[in-house]
Amino acid sequence: MHEQQTIEKITYRDALRQGLEEAMRKNDKVFLMGEDVGRYGGAFAVSKGLLEEFGADRIMDVPLSESGFVGAGIGAALGGMRPVVEVMTVNFSLLALDQVVNNAATLLHMSGGQLNVPVVIRISCGIGRQLAAQHSHSWEPIFAHIAGLKVLSVGTHEDARYMLGMALQELDPVVIFEYTAMLNHESEIHEDQIVRDIKKAKVRRGGKNLSIITYGAGVYKALEAAEKLMGVGIDTEVLDLRVLRPLDIDAIRATVTKTHRVLIIEEAWKSVGVAAEVTALIMEHAFYELDAPVERLCGAEVPIPYPKHLEDASIPQTEDIVDKVKKMVGK
């Protein structure tokens, strides 16, 4: 099927590219379209070299018009193709939101079930590269709010490698969030961390004293925090949500039932975010398993600052997580 990658370390960027290459080779209806994906090799070099292999018909540079090319991608999907539309950064995705909400997410309903829209929209996002307030957004909660979409968040190398392939199996629109700040991060692909579906959350680390529920850029930070916490005798479970819409209620209930204490980590602004939704689900499905109030560590509710130290302070960092967990379990 694919080469074993259990020992060699690869970057998050390479994992994304391998996933893309594999999808293109498997199905000739799959094509990539987006700003600078071809000749430039992608704004973040994810599609570097693909133009040479697959040609300009399948690695398609598009004009700077998010509404236009996302709409074109939706049209191609309706026409029987399997387009992968890359939106260079999440900041620009707002320009395409009308196409996403009113066409991609809604056409199945408006057509009385006749028109599926199997488009996959990849979006780079996140905070931590000193790109300032207009280029450092976490819009996962906005997209996760939209009925009719499936929303995925790539928090690990395993998901970077395999999520796209699974998204391309779907009949309906899928939005995938990738994290700019993680592109150069190197890791092995661990067989036991690969999840072969896009329905379930994944326990990245088992633990018994407290559960950290997170996604995206929060996953590795939570795992790092969990390692440090183990040093002071706190055994932390880390649940990677992976799928932000629809949320995996069973996995959330299972981890609460196991540890009885929950901290939710999210880089997006705290109010009305995914963390708030997870908290509400816990109240609805696992209230009597709670031994302490659910707590959240989320992004500060400010436009993301440019200076490095302020940018770092605006989102939860590993040390913040460690401190918070210690406080929660009373150590």
Summarize as ranges the residues that interact with other proteins (CB under 8 A): 260, 287-292, 328, 330
Helices of type H across the chain: 12-26, 50-54, 66-78, 90-93, 97-98, 107-110, 140-144, 157-167, 218-230, 249-259, 274-286, 308-313, 318-328
In the complex with other proteins, which residue's Cβ is closer, 80 or 330?
330
Q: Cα–Cα distance between 2 and 10 in angstroms, integer?
A: 15
Residue 147 or 292: the one with the smaller Cβ distance to other proteins is: 292
Q: How far is the CB of 208 from other proteins (least distance, A)?
A: 12
Residue whose pair of structure tokens reads 């436009």 in the numeric block: 303
Instruction: Decide if 135 is catalytic.
Output: yes
CB of 259 to other proteins, least distance (A): 11
Judged by DSSP in three states, 211 sits in strand
Say how far apart CA 133 and CA 247 lie, in whole Å.
28
* Nearest residue (CB) to other proteins, 98 versus 284: 284
The helix-helix angle for 12-26 and 157-167 (nearest 10°) equals 20
**Is 3 strand, coil or helix?**
coil
192 or 288: CB nearest other proteins: 288
CB of 288 to other proteins, least distance (A): 5
Taking a C-beta distance cutoff of 8 angstroms, is the pair 243, 152 a contact? yes
- Closest distance of CB 92 from other proteins, Å: 42
Exposed, middle or buried, 289 (CB in 10 Å: 0-12/13-18/19+)? middle
Q: Quote the least distance from Cβ 289 to other proteins, whole Å.
A: 6
Q: Which amino acid is at 242?
A: R
| Catalytic option among 66, 140, 178, 267 | 66
Nearer to other proteins, 272 or 283 (CB): 283
Catalytic hit among 86, 135, 157, 267: 135
**Please, which residues have CB within 8 angstroms of residue 9's CB and are 6 or more apart in sequence?**
186, 187, 188
Point out the residues that are catalytic. 66, 135
